[in-house]
Amino acid sequence: MDIGELSQSTQDYLKAVWNIEEWSGHPAATSDLAGALQVSLPAISAQVKKLSEQGLLTHAKYGAITLTDLGRDLALAMVRRHRLIETFLVEIVGSPWDEVHADAERLEHAISDTLLARFDDLLGHPTHDPHGDPIPGADGSLPTRDASTKTIPLSQAPAEVPLRIVRVHDSLPGLLDYLSRASISVGATVKVNRHDAKELTLQPGGRSVPREFADRILVAVMPVPRTPTTRAE
């Protein structure tokens, strides 16, 4: 089965199941899909049943929704389309990073594999998109992660420790626009100097970040440089 043989709805469902598990670390539930796709729970249940019968999903009654091997391959093909298109729009077209998600959602269903390969060549085969999301290879493989670099949500980061922003959720309404106005981007170095129940404050700049946004920003704790010691003569 090829990704082009699937309906747009099926493509969306498979990609959503993958994205939910990728970000949360646990299998999707029907409520997760309803929120991600803005579809009613009865409609989600009916479509999940249909895709399960087609061998693309597995769904334990009242339990987790997971991708079969075939479903995973097709989901990764859609994820690759989406993230390469986002990268093309930012790097080549010059679109702001907070606008490309919606455009990629539309274009990913229409682009051919041939054109997508040309995008990939033109971009120099990027491994991550502008939001820090890994881009699957044409064979479905994912970029190797540095085992020594552990990422955590910004909302859980310790205070007064250098942090590098690694990844930002691209579909949370308002998040990317907020970060753009605050001049915060993937790769930036920040510190948290205050936590409270609703927000945290970042340095430099004393910027406040709502906790709902901080939950969707992944950071890596940067190593503290060692101070050279002088040997006594």
Distance of alpha carbon 34 from alpha carbon 36, whole angstroms = 6
Which DSSP string do the residues of 89-157 spell out, in sequence order? IIIII---TTTHHHHHHHHTTT--HHHHHHHHHHHT--SB-TTSPBPPPTTS--PPP-TT--EEEGGGP
Q: What is the pLDDT of residue 208?
A: 87
Highest mean pLDDT among 169-173, 212-216, 228-232: 212-216
> d(Cα 41, Cα 48) in Å, to the nearest integer?
10
Q: Are residues 209 and 190 in contact, defined by beta-carbon separation less than 8 angstroms?
A: no
CA-CA distance, 114 to 214, in Å (whole number)? 38
Domains and CATH numbers, the chain: 1-144 (1.10.10.10), 151-221 (2.30.30.90)
In this prediction, residue 228 has a pLDDT band, given cuts at 50, 70 and 90, of: low
Average pLDDT over residues 176-189: 89
Confidence at residue 145, expressed as pLDDT on a 0 to 100 scale: 72
Q: Give yes or no for a contact between 63 and 109, defined as CB atoms under 8 angstroms apart.
A: no
| Average pLDDT in the chain | 90
pLDDT at position 224 = 63
pTM for the model stands at: 0.89
User: From CA 168, how far away is CA 130, in angstroms rounded?
Assistant: 9
Please report which confidence band the pLDDT of residue 222 belongs to, taking 50, 70 and 90 as the band edges: confident
How far apart, in whole angstroms, are the C-alpha atoms of residue 82 and residue 121?
16
User: What is the pLDDT at residue 223?
Assistant: 76
Q: What proportion of the chain, given as a percentage, has pLDDT over 70?
A: 94
- Specify the pLDDT at position 207: 84
pLDDT of residue 49: 95
Closest CA to 136 of 157, 108, 98, 178: 108
User: What is the C-alpha to C-alpha distance for residues 77 and 158, in angstroms, rounded to an integer?
Assistant: 36
Distance between CA atoms of 192 and 41, rounded to whole angstroms?
38
DSSP 28: B
Read off the pLDDT band of 117 (50, 70, 90).
Answer: very high
Sort residue 151 into left (φ over 0), alpha (ψ -120 to 50) or beta: beta
Q: Which of 79, 64, 72, 97 is nearest to 170 (CA)?
A: 97
Res 148: pLDDT: 61
pLDDT of 91 strictly over 90: yes
Q: What is the pLDDT of residue 219?
A: 95
- Helical (H) or strand (E) element with 8: helix 8-24
pLDDT tens digit sequence for 3-49: 889 999 999 999 999 999 998 889 999 999 999 999 999 999 999 99
Q: What is the mean pLDDT of residues 131-154?
A: 87
